[in-house]
C-alpha cells in the first residue's frame, strides 16, 4: 500500500493568490459604496431638493385633449419635483391612452418650469356623417363635438348606401379602397396649387372611385378607374394635377362629370355629359 505524503500548506503562496481576490472585493465594495452614496446625494441634490419644485406648468393643446387631462394623466403639476419624472417615458405612456394625439412634447426648463405641447393628429377623411375620423396617417378615431365642428370641411368618405365599417383605434388596411381614398385626400392636401376642394369620395362603385368637388357653385364629379389608380402617390398626384388643370380651363366650364384616364401620360381628363 502506498502512503501519500501530506502536502504542506504554503501560506505564502495562498497569500499571493488571495491578493487579486481581495483587491477585487475592495473595488466592488468601494463601487457599491459610491453608488449608494450617489443615490443619497442625488435625492438630496435633485429629487428631494425644494429648489427644483415645479412652480409653472405650461400646457399647449389642440382639440384632442384638454389641459387638465394632460396634467392629470401625466402627473405633471405644480408642486412635483422636476426630476421626479422621465419626459420620454411619460410621453409614451400618455400617447397610448390618447391615440388622437400625434405627439406629446415635454420640455423642462430648470429650475421649475415645464412646458407640455400636445399635437393633434391631422384629419383626412370623415366616415359618412358619423363622428369617425380617419387621420392622415391612417388611424381611425372618434371626434368629439368640438373636433367635428372644426373639421367640418374634411372630405366625406362614403360607399354608396352601404355603411363603412371601421374600428376606432385601428388603422386603415393597406391596399384597401379606403386606403386609396386616403391617398387621394392626402395627395390633394400635399400638392400645391390645387384649384378645387374635395367634398366627397365614394368607394362603393366596383369600377371607379368617384370624387365630388366642394366649394364651387356647381359640384363636379370625377371618377378614377380602380384598376388604374392603384397604390402609389405619384400616379394619384399626376391625376389630381390633370383634374385641377382641366377644371380651370374655360372650355370645361359647362361640364359637370369627368373620367380620368390614368393609363396615358400625362393622364387625360374626359368630360362625360352622362355616365356610360
Write down the pTM of the prediction: 0.76
The yes-or-no verdict on residue 27 having pLDDT over 60 is no
State which residues form the domain around 143. 123-271
Whether 203 and 228 map to the same domain: the answer is yes
pLDDT given at position 40: 52
What is the count of structural domains for the chain? 2
Whether 219 and 133 map to the same domain: the answer is yes
Residue 266 CA to residue 241 CA, distance in Å, equals 10
What percent of the chain is modeled with pLDDT above 90? Answer: 63
Whether 207 and 152 map to the same domain: the answer is yes
Whether 261 and 144 map to the same domain: the answer is yes
Whether 55 and 163 map to the same domain: the answer is no
pLDDT given at position 146: 84
* Average pLDDT over every residue of 130-150: 91
CB 262, CB 229: distance < 8 Å: yes
Whether 127 and 263 map to the same domain: the answer is yes
Asked, for residue 1, whether it belongs to a domain, the answer is no
Whether 222 and 238 map to the same domain: the answer is yes
Label residue 145 by pLDDT band (50, 70, 90): confident
Final residue of a domain: which of 120, 137, 153?
120
CA distance readout (Å), 46 to 31, 81, 116, 168: 21, 8, 21, 42
pLDDT given at position 33: 52
- For 227-255, what is each residue's pLDDT tens digit? 888 766 688 999 999 999 999 999 888 88
Asked, for residue 262, whether it belongs to a domain, the answer is yes
The yes-or-no verdict on residue 28 having pLDDT over 90 is no
Q: In 10 A of CB 157, how many CB atoms?
A: 25
Residue 194 CA to residue 112 CA, distance in Å, equals 47
- The pairing of beta strand 156-158 with beta strand 123-127: parallel
pLDDT given at position 254: 86
pLDDT given at position 44: 56
Asked, for residue 2, whether it belongs to a domain, the answer is no
Asked, for residue 13, whether it belongs to a domain, the answer is no
Asked, for residue 32, whether it belongs to a domain, the answer is no
Task: Give CA torsion, residues 167, 171, 176, 179, to 10 deg.
Answer: 120
Final residue of a domain: which of 78, 97, 120?
120
- The pairing of beta strand 56-60 with beta strand 113-120: parallel
* Average pLDDT over every residue of 138-158: 91
Q: For residue 207, what is the domain's CATH number?
A: 3.40.50
CB 94, CB 106: distance < 8 Å: no
Whether 181 and 205 map to the same domain: the answer is yes
pLDDT given at position 19: 56
Closest CA to 221 of 200, 194, 192: 200
Mean pLDDT (the chain, rounded): 86
pLDDT given at position 139: 95
C-alpha grid cell for residue 56?
409653472
Please state the φ and ψ torsions of residue 219, each to the nearest 5 degrees: -65, 140
Higher pLDDT, 213 or 17: 213
Q: For residue 68, what is the domain's CATH number?
A: 3.10.20.310
The yes-or-no verdict on residue 84 having pLDDT over 80 is yes
Amino acid at each position: 500500500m502506498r502512503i501519500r505524503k501530506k502536502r504542506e500548506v504554503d501560506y505564502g503562496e495562498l497569500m499571493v493568490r488571495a491578493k487579486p481576490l481581495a483587491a477585487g472585493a475592495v473595488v466592488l465594495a468601494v463601487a457599491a459604496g459610491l453608488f449608494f452614496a450617489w443615490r443619497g446625494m442625488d435625492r438630496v441634490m435633485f429629487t428631494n431638493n425644494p429648489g427644483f419644485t415645479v412652480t409653472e406648468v405650461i400646457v399647449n393643446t389642440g382639440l384632442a385633449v384638454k389641459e387638465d387631462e394632460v396634467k392629470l394623466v401625466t402627473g405633471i403639476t405644480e408642486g412635483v419635483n422636476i426630476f421626479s419624472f422621465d419626459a420620454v417615458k411619460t410621453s409614451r405612456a400618455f400617447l397610448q391612452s390618447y391615440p388622437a394625439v400625434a405627439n406629446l412634447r415635454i420640455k423642462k426648463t430648470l429650475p421649475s418650469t415645464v412646458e407640455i405641447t400636445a399635437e393633434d393628429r391631422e384629419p383626412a377623411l370623415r366616415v359618412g356623417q358619423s363622428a369617425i375620423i380617419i387621420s392622415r396617417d391612417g388611424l381611425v378615431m372618434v371626434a368629439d363635438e368640438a373636433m367635428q365642428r372644426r373639421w367640418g370641411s374634411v372630405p366625406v368618405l362614403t360607399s354608396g348606401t352601404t355603411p363603412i365599417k371601421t374600428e376606432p383605434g385601428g388603422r386603415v388596411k393597406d391596399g384597401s379602397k379606403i386606403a386609396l381614398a386616403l391617398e387621394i385626400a392626402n395627395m390633394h392636401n400635399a400638392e400645391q396649387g390645387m384649384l378645387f376642394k374635395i367634398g366627397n369620395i365614394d368607394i362603393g362603385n366596383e369600377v371607379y372611385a368617384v370624387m365630388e368637388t366642394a366649394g364651387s357653385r356647381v359640384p363636379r364629379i370625377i371618377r378614377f378607374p380602380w384598376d388604374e389608380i392603384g397604390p402609389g402617390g405619384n400616379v394619384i398626384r399626376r391625376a389630381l394635377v390633370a383634374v385641377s388643370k382641366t377644371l380651370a380651363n374655360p372650355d370645361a366650364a359647362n361640364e359637370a362629370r369627368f373620367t380620368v384616364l390614368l393609363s396615358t401620360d400625362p393622364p387625360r381628363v374626359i368630360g362625360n355629359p352622362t355616365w356610360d
